[in-house]
């Protein structure tokens, strides 16, 4: 069949930024000896092996991946804690953002407890977020914990100056997100570590999607993590932080946990884990898995230097083979001129193309919206079905009160021909295409793909505005109320001005 939509073409005219160098000259790898380490192969089955043994055994010969979707924030947090607390040999943690809030502190506490049990913990963090280096150094001082930073800033207390002095290098970030325990179970998807991703009280609540996986894709996640962990871009925190004898004692951790009230907060009241349906499924061993054929797709750590996205190259093969429908869910959507043409061409070739992204009011980066807005009219005129999520969209959750004043789409997913799904960290924008490293899994699973497609059809009219052209003008139609709006819904004049101004700046390649 003809090439209906080439993901290569989709990103082809996005500006390719050539970045050079792995680490700053102020952090010289030749001065140190970095110990390589790799996924631990367990001699005996672990608890997690035994937990999923029956299902894995029935699918092992055909090398499938089993997965349980985590589409609610509280379930995503509970699942992470559950596998960490079950760990016996190793935990590998890889995130773009790891916040110092309830969610971050709770996970850090459980990681420390695992290390106390003798579990090896490898923590790899991107260095875009500002961390307390001394806290990370204390954490890494535990004999069973090692912390590394991906492509770190060389001026720790003057990051703005660091960016100006070394912009090309520091503009390359690790956006990958994974948590793997005992080399057996992995959780990957769109969520970082922070309250807003897990339905805990925050000014904004993200609607997101992760997959908890076993089987073939987990082995691929292990290889991906080892590749990043041992790359020149991953720098031990000891090379960065001042050389001090900083350590956490058991008394320190106990006082810290008591001060924050972490245990009490999540074992009673509003955030009681035991009240969640997934809690009982985990305890009773009744977690249901979908099984399908698929692979983990990921960029190499040196992506900008190589000027190649191995993820996009692999995903292009899947999308080029699409025959009936494509659903793209991306919170940050900047299709570019060529990408817009490719999407319209797909419609002209007979595909149903649906795009779901944030409205200006629900987008936490209005500069992205400013550039995306340039392509809306062409997309709608070309037959693309375009939806923008409301800022007050109801997010499915059991924790009834989050304190959030605004909801925002954060899911990065695709549904292809109602047969395959892609879930990962990649947005449809120039930054994901050329600057950040990304990862995701594509799995052929018609039952789940159909379920997601049908759920979108039922929910989208309640949670999003459909964009249409009426008498030559772009309008936002609210199916829930029947109301027609002629300007950016729910957005203040200041957000509109900010988005407009961003749209005239030459920054598309950075978004």
Answer yes or no: 8 catalytic.
no
> What does the block give as tokens for 361?
């009011």
Q: What distance in Å separates the CA atoms of residue 318 and residue 422, rounded to the nearest whole number? A: 10
The catalytic position among 68, 74, 175, 420 is: 175
From residue 498, give the alpha-carbon distance in Å to each of 82, 360, 408: 42, 10, 18
The catalytic position among 74, 216, 303, 412 is: 412
Residue 189, classed as helix, strand or coil, is strand
Q: DSSP letter for 47, please.
A: H
The catalytic position among 71, 126, 133, 182 is: 182
Answer yes or no: 59 catalytic.
no
Tell me the β-bridge partners of 415. 327, 421
The catalytic position among 177, 397, 420, 434 is: 177
The catalytic position among 410, 420, 429, 434 is: 410
Give Cβ neighbours of residue 99 (< 8 Å, ≥ 6 apart).
Answer: 129, 192, 193, 194, 195
Q: Could you tell me how many residues make up the chain?
A: 511
Q: What distance in Å separates the CA atoms of residue 295 and residue 220, rounded to the nearest whole number? A: 8
Asked whether 164 and 140 are in contact (CB, 8 A), the reply is: no
Answer yes or no: 175 catalytic.
yes
- For the stretch 285-289, contacts whose Cβ atoms lie closer than 8 Å and that sit 24 or more positions apart, written own/partner, are 285/51, 287/68, 287/212, 288/68, 289/52, 289/55, 289/66, 289/67, 289/68, 289/214
Q: Which of 134, 155, 171 is nearest to 20 (CA)?
A: 171
The DSSP string of 217-253 is HHHHHHHHHHHHHTSTTEEEHHHHS--------HHHH
The catalytic position among 75, 126, 417, 429 is: 417
From residue 310, give the alpha-carbon distance in Å to each of 41, 175, 303, 317, 440: 27, 15, 8, 11, 11
Tell me the β-bridge partners of 205. 407
Answer yes or no: 417 catalytic.
yes
Give the sign of the dihedral formed by CA 455, CA 456, CA 459, CA 463: positive
Answer yes or no: 182 catalytic.
yes
Asked whether 292 and 55 are in contact (CB, 8 A), the reply is: no
> What does the block give as tokens for 355?
């795009």
CB atoms within 10 A of CB 365: 15
Asked whether 169 and 24 are in contact (CB, 8 A), the reply is: yes
Answer yes or no: 473 catalytic.
no
Q: What distance in Å separates the CA atoms of residue 283 and residue 499, rounded to the nearest whole number? A: 47
Give the position of tokens 């960065």.
240
The DSSP string of 77-105 is HHHHHHHHHH-SSEEEEEES-B-SSHHHH
Active site residues: 175, 177, 182, 410, 412, 417
């Amino acid at each position: 069949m003809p090439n209906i939509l080439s993901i290569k073409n989709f990103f082809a005219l996005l500006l390719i930024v050539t970045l050079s160098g792995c680490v700053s000259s102020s952090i010289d790898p030749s001065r140190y000896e970095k110990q390589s380490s790799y996924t631990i192969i367990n001699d005996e089955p672990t608890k997690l092996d035994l937990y999923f043994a029956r299902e894995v055994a029935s699918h092992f010969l055909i090398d499938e991946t089993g997965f349980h979707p985590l589409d609610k924030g509280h379930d995503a947090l509970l699942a992470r804690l559950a596998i960490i607390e079950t760990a016996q040999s190793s935990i590998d943690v890889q995130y773009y953002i790891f916040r110092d809030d309830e969610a971050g502190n709770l996970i850090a506490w459980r990681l420390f407890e695992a290390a106390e049990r003798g579990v090896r913990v490898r923590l790899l963090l991107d260095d875009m977020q500002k961390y307390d280096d001394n806290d990370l150094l204390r954490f890494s001082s535990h004999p069973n914990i090692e912390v590394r930073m991906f492509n770190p800033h060389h001026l720790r207390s003057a990051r703005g100056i660091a960016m100006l002095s070394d912009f090309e290098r520091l503009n390359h970030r690790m956006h990958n997100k994974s948590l793997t325990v005992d080399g057996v179970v992995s959780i990957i998807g769109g969520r970082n570590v922070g309250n807003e991703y897990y339905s805990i009280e925050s000014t904004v609540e993200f609607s997101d999607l992760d997959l908890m996986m076993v089987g073939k894709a987990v082995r691929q996640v292990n290889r991906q993590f080892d590749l990043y962990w041992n790359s020149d871009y991953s720098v031990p925190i000891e090379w960065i932080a001042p050389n001090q004898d900083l350590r956490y004692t058991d008394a320190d951790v106990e006082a810290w946990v008591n001060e924050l009230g972490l245990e009490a907060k999540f074992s009673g009241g509003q955030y009681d884990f035991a009240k969640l349906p997934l809690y009982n499924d985990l305890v009773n061993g009744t977690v249901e898995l979908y099984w399908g054929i698929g692979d983990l797709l990921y960029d190499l750590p040196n992506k900008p230097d190589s000027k190649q996205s191995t993820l996009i190259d692999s995903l292009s093969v899947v999308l080029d083979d699409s025959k009936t429908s494509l659903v793209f869910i991306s919170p940050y959507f900047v299709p570019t001129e060529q990408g817009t043409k490719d999407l319209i061409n797909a419609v002209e070739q007979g595909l149903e193309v649906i795009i779901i992204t944030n409205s200006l009011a629900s987008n936490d980066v209005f500069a992205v919206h400013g550039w995306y807005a340039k392509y809306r009219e062409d997309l709608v005129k070309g037959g693309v079905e375009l939806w923008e999520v409301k800022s007050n969209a109801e997010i499915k959750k059991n924790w009834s009160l989050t304190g959030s004043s605004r909801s925002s789409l954060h899911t990065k997913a695709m549904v292809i021909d109602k047969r395959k799904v892609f879930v990962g960290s990649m947005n449809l924008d120039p930054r994901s295409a050329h600057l950040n490293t990304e990862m995701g899994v594509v799995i052929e699973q018609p039952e789940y793909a159909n379920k997601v497609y049908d759920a979108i059809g039922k929910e989208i009219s309640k949670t999003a505005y459909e964009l249409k052209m009426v008498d030559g003008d772009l309008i936002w139609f609210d199916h829930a109320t029947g109301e027609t709006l002629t300007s950016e819904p729910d957005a203040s004049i200041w957000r509109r001005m900010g988005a407009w101004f961003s749209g005239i700046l030459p920054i598309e390649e950075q978004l």
